[in-house]
Amino acid sequence: MSRGGDYAGQGVVITGAASGLGAALAELFASAGARLALLDIDAERATAKAAEFADPGVEAIGLAVDVSDRAAVAAAAARVGSELGDCAVLCANVGVQQMCCSPATPP
């Protein structure tokens, strides 16, 4: 993707965006002209990562979200919608594992 590519002006939501693969995805989509919602469990790092994109003029917001908390995800989605509008892409870069039964009892 290059600046002004297929994602110019489109909203992109990335979970786990403060570091690693999520941060790399953010840089890639930013270079393609996307507007970014960077979600991470670490509020400080999510906000700092979003601020990095302000200098080159990319619209980005950083939000603290625990993706295992449905209410927190719903609140983040509402905020993203109000600040960025509709989003075309969701990069679900964070996995949540929950046990449905005790390890001794198979499902």
Spell 48-82 as b/e; 16+ CB within 10 A means b.
Answer: ebbebbeeeebbbbbbbbebeeeebeeebbeebee
User: According to CATH, what is the number of the domain 11-91?
Assistant: 3.40.50.720
State what percent of residues in the chain have pLDDT above 70: 83
Per-residue pLDDT tens digits for 1-51: 444 468 999 999 999 999 999 999 999 999 999 999 999 999 999 999 999
Q: Which phi-psi region, left, alpha or beta, contains residue 90 (left: φ > 0; alpha: ψ -120 to 50)?
A: beta
Please tell me the pTM assigned to this model: 0.83
- Domain borders along the chain are 11-91
pLDDT tens digits, one per residue of 65-79? 999 999 999 999 999
